[in-house]
Structure 1
Amino acid sequence: MKSLKKKRRIQILLAAGIALVLAVALIGYGFRDGINLYRSPSQMAENPPASGEVFRLGGLVEDGSLQRGLGETVSFRVTDGGASIPVRFTGVLPDLFAEGQGMIGTGSMQGDTFVASEILAKHDEKYMPREVIDSLKEQGVYEPNS
């Protein structure tokens, strides 16, 4: 009788262990491309990203830097007051995307240019991504809207 209880406990522990390993593996597989680190232009100047690394770049679209190319390609510069990074994006920009406004782009560096695969812009006059606000505060250039 004791032997049967002992076998059952071992079987339950083994099944729980296998389920735990499987759950961790599935979570890791789900996050393999889903974690993108945020960087400001100043952070990129201090510590450049690795080649091919996908990350998020955020800041303010520099005034006078927006250039529309042929087709859907757009070039502009993103700044946080301390550094400025050139950005190239091919696609349709959000309607509220404009110079002097906050944005976050997801992409990677190709040479000295950040090539964005996705651009997010503010959705009303009071919104700015939290990461952008934090970066601008660190640089001492954040001026909150009333």
Structure 2
Amino acid sequence: MKAKHQRLILAVAALVALIGAGLLAASALKDEAAYFYAPGDVRAKGVEPGKAIRLGGMVVKGSLKRAADGVTLHFDVTDGKATVPAVFKGIAPDLFKEGSGVVAEGAFDTKGAFIATNLLAKHDERYMPRELDGMTYNETTREMKAER
């Protein structure tokens, strides 16, 4: 066999192996490629208890309750289609409040409540830290100044 044919066969075999690896990786990821599940997705598809996922949505206003121990939070997460009860034990981020966005890491228990192990509070693009509220940035002098 000529060297030209050997290179062609080797190139075709490499291409087939690359396509096979891509298809295998895509089939293994399936639904796991989502950054987080919304409450509507959880209600529609269902998630088995104990499976580690991220649940994302908005904290329902009026649903945030602190337990007597001071570190356990009970709240509801919604996406406008469905609402899921959630529980978190620990210190919540400063941005975590009613009506704000949240991504909670954890798993569902057998009763359908989401047991969060970590809370990631989300903010919009207009977020301003409390320390800088009422301040403006001067491009020329490159310093922060209080607004008048």
**TM-score past 0.5 threshold:** yes
Tell me how many residue pairs correspond in the alignment.
Answer: 124
**Residue correspondence of structure 1 range 1-146 to structure 2 within 5 A:** 3-22=2-21, 25=24, 35-40=34-39, 42=40, 44-45=42-43, 47=44, 49-52=46-49, 53=51, 54-68=53-67, 70=69, 72-80=71-79, 83-110=82-109, 111-123=111-123, 126=126
The structure having more radius of gyration, on CA atoms, is 2
Contact 2:77 2:84 (C-alpha < 8 Å) held by counterparts? yes
Unaligned runs of 5+ in 1: 128-146
Q: Distance in 2 between matches of 1:49 and 1:33?
A: 14
Deviations 1:59-97 (A, max 9, x none): 233315321453743222224566532101233311111
Give structure 2 stretches of 5+ with no counterpart: 128-148
In structure 2, relative to structure 1, the CA distance for the partners of 1:31 and 1:100 (3 Å cut) is same
Q: TM-score, normalising length from structure 2?
A: 0.58
* TM-score normalised according to structure 1 size: 0.59
CA RMSD of aligned residues (A): 3.6
Q: CA deviation at 1:9?
A: 0.8
SS of residue paired to 1:38: coil
Q: Tell whether the 8 Å contact from 2:84 to 2:113 is kept in structure 1 after alignment.
A: yes
